[in-house]
Amino acid sequence: MTTATAPAPTRPRTLVSRVSWHRPLLALAAAMGALALIAAIGSVVDPREITGVPLWNKPLLFAVSVGVYALTLSWLLGMLTRFRRVVHVFGTIATIGLAIEMVIIVGVALAGTTSHFNVSTPLATVLWGVMAVSIVVVWMLGIPVAVLLFRTDLGDPARSLAVRAGLLLALVGMGLAFLMTGPQGSQITDYQGIVGAHTVGVADGGPGLPLVGWSTVGGDLRIPHFIGMHALQLVPLAALVLELVARRVPALAVLREARVRAGLVAVFVALYVGVLALVTVQALAGEPLVHPSGTTLAVGGVLAAAALVAGGIVLAVGRRPAQGR
């Protein structure tokens, strides 16, 4: 006689479930990890500076940023089930484009000059042009990937919204870099071989925050660029945190409802969009991040309050069915 056993309950895949990672992007991420370690050591032992900033700062920051982006993009591409060969080619081209940018950034830094916006010599102009084309290609490849993500079932409403919105916001953040490429201020009347700048209202290379170098005396377009680009990690991370809390905090069992998590992710995305718009306007106005105006503080307060209220409403509505049963 045989006894039937009930099948074990299955859980939906989570954001960190096993996927088919894109190996060239993973290799690039590993290389960036090694470069970040080398650059960190260089920052300590090498006293040289470029425009008032330690020579190794830019290689370090870009190594970390590119490494995280490559790792995340590798994961996202692994979630796509359609057009696998085309998707793999997209990832490989992105790997090459990012690698080209990093080789130029490190090489030019070791030569003791700037890579971005530098058109002071024919060689510098060519290198800056190659960097620009490479990153534009990487940016454009994100568009079809976003389209494919919108056509892929990711198994959970909150997860799907987080991944898709994160990629769209990242594309916007990367696109904001174009605001830095036009001639700024005195560059028009007093050409010194530099066209474009990170800062607004002041010259690049002035007082800045430790490590990142964001200006403390003027607007800095690197801030919205950074915040937007890394929505690719932060928005899905928010969804992951909600999934973990739903499993481990009994008092917030309401988060086990997919529609509740999706609602909270939507609130977070709306807040993220508001913050991105706010810091972009702040930078374009020449206002330092660390010295916000009264208007900026007021708008930030309204955004925070609106997000809290909206989040509270989502949780309250989510609890009603449970209380009524």
User: By three-state DSSP, how is residue 49 classified?
Assistant: strand
198 with 308, same domain: the answer is yes
**pLDDT digit string, tens, across residues 192-209:** 555 567 778 777 777 878
Q: Which of 131, 152, 173 is the last residue of a domain?
A: 152
148 with 202, same domain: the answer is no
**Sequence-distant (≥ 6) Cβ neighbours of residue 320 within 8 angstroms:** none
Per-residue pLDDT of the chain (325 residues; tens, 9 = 90+): 444 444 443 344 555 555 678 999 999 999 999 999 999 999 899 888 887 788 898 899 999 999 999 999 998 898 888 888 999 999 999 999 999 999 999 999 888 888 777 777 888 889 988 988 998 999 999 889 888 888 888 878 998 899 999 999 999 998 898 887 766 665 555 555 555 677 787 777 778 788 888 888 888 899 999 999 999 899 999 998 998 998 888 878 888 888 999 999 999 999 999 999 999 999 999 899 999 999 999 999 999 999 999 999 998 888 775 444 4
147 with 242, same domain: the answer is no
For residue 226, give both structure tokens. Answer: 């950074």
pTM of the complete model: 0.82
Which pLDDT score is estimated for 118? 73
Which pLDDT score is estimated for 102? 95
147 with 211, same domain: the answer is no
Q: Residues 166, 235: contact at Cβ < 8 Å?
A: yes
303 with 232, same domain: the answer is yes
What are the φ and ψ backbone dihedral angles of 219, each rounded to 5 degrees? -70, 155
Q: Is residue 132 part of a domain?
A: yes
At 146, which CATH number?
Answer: 1.20.120
- Scanning the chain, the segments in alpha helix (DSSP H) are 23-45, 57-79, 84-110, 122-150, 157-175, 222-229, 231-248, 258-284, 294-324
Question: Alpha-carbon distance 188 to 243, whole Å?
Answer: 52
109 with 227, same domain: the answer is no
For residue 68, give both structure tokens. Answer: 């995280």
Whole domain around residue 30: which residue ranges? 18-152
Which pLDDT score is estimated for 17? 52
201 with 78, same domain: the answer is no
Which pLDDT score is estimated for 81? 82
Q: Is residue 11 part of a domain?
A: no
Q: Which of 97, 129, 152 is the last residue of a domain?
A: 152
Which pLDDT score is estimated for 196? 62
Q: Is residue 289 part of a domain?
A: yes
Question: Alpha-carbon distance 192 to 190, whole Å?
Answer: 6
**pLDDT digit string, tens, across residues 181-192:** 766 665 555 555
Q: Is residue 13 part of a domain?
A: no
For residue 124, give both structure tokens. Answer: 């510098």
For residue 121, give both structure tokens. Answer: 């010599």
Count of domains in the chain?
Answer: 2
Which pLDDT score is estimated for 190? 53
130 with 22, same domain: the answer is yes
194 with 132, same domain: the answer is no
138 with 227, same domain: the answer is no
Which pLDDT score is estimated for 155? 79
Question: Alpha-carbon distance 67 to 98, whole Å?
Answer: 9
307 with 239, same domain: the answer is yes
Q: Is residue 8 part of a domain?
A: no
Question: Alpha-carbon distance 318 to 310, whole Å?
Answer: 12
Q: Is residue 181 part of a domain?
A: no
Which pLDDT score is estimated for 14? 52
Q: Is residue 30 part of a domain?
A: yes
143 with 204, same domain: the answer is no
Q: Is residue 27 part of a domain?
A: yes
